[in-house]
Chains A and B, each alone.
Chain A
């Protein structure tokens, strides 16, 4: 069965510092991978997605993520965090032949000045 693990419940970084949010998945075949962001009181917005090809994918708002098959990971990164990046971040995985996504439990990002 598919599963998604986000081991960090809460991360605090200083504005301008780099960020890495971890995501590990469990799935037998090549997964389809997504990162979503949820600002307070809002719905989820897609940041980026990976289906195939180049394992480093670029997203909106300066985010990028790298797919590492050997580590079953899809970590989200940003070189310099802005205060507006404070939000909840969700990793999700899709499976071949289905339309469902499986979500991790989320990582809450706090940005301090």
Chain B
């Protein structure tokens, strides 16, 4: 069965370190998204990609970067982790077209100490 996976599921890191969160989908979807979820804010879009070599900034992109070298993967990098980036991160993917729902991964809980 097609799926979307995230790794690691839990991560503790120190302030200032570079961290990369992995997202892998086997749906063959062109569109991939990264969100962070914080209490009181719901889901906020960090970055998204509509295809290989395409990346776009979302609502809360400062301090984050992504790259898309193939269809299946969209890794999210925190260049220099900050305590404000402690959050739960969700990756999602979808087919082309607004009418197609996004499929979500199980999430990564990141703690920056």
- Where the two chains meet, the residues of A that have a C-beta atom closer than 8 Å to any C-beta of B are 32, 34, 36, 41-46, 49, 51, 90, 94-101, 103-106
Contacts and interface: CB of A to CB of B under 8 A. Distances in A.
A22 to B, nearest CB: 15
A105 B104 contact: no
User: What are the 4 A-B residue pairs with the smallest beta carbon separation, nearest first?
Assistant: A105-B42, A43-B104, A94-B98, A103-B43
Contact of B98 (A36, A44, A95, A105): A95
B102 interface: yes
Interface size class of chain B, counting residues whose CB lies under 8 Å from the partner chain: 20 to 34
State the main secondary structure of chain A at its contact with B. Answer: loop
B94 to A, nearest CB: 6
A32 B99 contact: yes
B96 A99 contact: yes
Give the interface SS of chain B, mostly helix, strand, loop or mixed.
strand
A105 B99 contact: no
A100 B35 CA distance: 11
Interface of B: 31, 33, 35, 40-43, 45, 48, 50, 90, 92, 94, 96-99, 101-107
B97 A99 contact: yes
Contact of B102 (A96, A97, A101, A104): A101
A96 B50 CA distance: 15
Given A46-B101, A99-B50, A103-B43, 17 more contacts: A32-B99, A34-B101, A44-B43, A44-B92, A49-B101, A90-B43, A94-B98, A98-B98, A99-B31, A99-B94, A99-B96, A99-B97, A99-B98, A100-B48, A101-B98, A103-B42, A104-B42
A36 B96 CA distance: 19
